[in-house]
Amino acid sequence: KFEKIWLIFGIATLLVFLSTIGVSAFYLGNQPPSCLVTIDPEKVAETPPFNEPGLKQVGENEYELTMVASAFHYEPSHVQIPLGATVHISVTTVDVIHGFQVPGTNINMMVEPGYVSTLTAQFNREGEFLVLCNEYCGVGHHMMTSTFEVI
């Protein structure tokens, strides 16, 4: 008799959890933050803004930075960023999964084929920052870097 009660309790709890996730995902629109747009990795080179990777000014000390990851480098491989700038970063990859991390900051994304990973960062410290790949992507993985120069 008690088994039946607990079984019903367990199933009810499960249904509550599932409906919470369902409501959150579909009604409130909560999705993994890195997956915003789907694009064909083979067409990245022709798809704006990834056909022209780099830094573009969009406002007063506000920029859009577009980067393309591929085995085993980032395009562009060096970016100059004005001190104090707010930068909206979009990254995608043309081949396999790569990482996108700037040690010493909270910039850390996974870059997946077919998706655009985005985040907004503010650069309030002068100096050179290393951008590195933290997802194993092949024999050249350890050499896969770019640099941000904040001036």
| Residue closest to 148 by CA, chosen among 98, 104, 93 | 104
Q: How far is the CB of 135 from ligand CUA (least distance, A)?
A: 5
**Residue 66 or 98: which CB sits closer to ligand CUA?**
98
How many residues of this chain bind ligand CUA (CB under 6 A)?
Answer: 9
Site for ligand CUA in 57-96 (CB under 6 A): 72
Count CA atoms closer than 13 A to 35's CA, side-chain side: 8
Q: Among 133, 146, 148, 150, which residue sits at the site for ligand CUA (rule: CB under 6 A)? A: 133
**Taking CB under 6 A as the rule, does residue 144 contact ligand CUA?**
yes
**Taking CB under 6 A as the rule, does residue 110 contact ligand CUA?**
no
Q: How far is the CB of 72 from ligand CUA (least distance, A)?
A: 6
Cα(74)–Cα(67) distance, integer angstroms: 7
Which residues here bind ligand CUA, judged by CB under 6 A? 72, 98-99, 133, 135-137, 141, 144
